Amino acid sequence: MKLWLAIVLIVVALIVGLILGFLVARKYMMKYLRENPPITEEIVRTMMTQMGRTPSEKQVRQVMKSINAQYDKQKKEKKKK
């Protein structure tokens, strides 16, 4: 009987550990991506140049502003839920 209880406790501890580990890792990655966005102004300039456009500073800032607005919109939608 004690062996059965030990096995159940080990399985429950593993499940709880996996869930907590996932939540902590997700929170850490969201914070990291917020502080270090994967798309920078230099990347936008490079993409526009590769598409055959000569990007002006105004165009680059406009693209960055739209990317940030989209991120903020998604963030607000998640808070509402």
For residue range 2-56, list pLDDT tens digits in order: 899 999 999 999 999 999 999 999 999 988 887 877 888 889 999 999 999 888 9
Q: What is the DSSP letter of 44?
A: H
**Which amino acid is located at 14 in the chain?**
L
Question: How many angstroms separate the CA atoms of 28 and 1, rounded?
Answer: 41
Whether this prediction's pTM lies above 0.95 is answered by no
Residue 1: is its pLDDT beyond 90? no
What single-letter amino acid sits at 40? T
In order, the DSSP letters of 23-38 are: HHHHHHHHHHHHHS-S
Tell me what pLDDT residue 81 has. Answer: 63
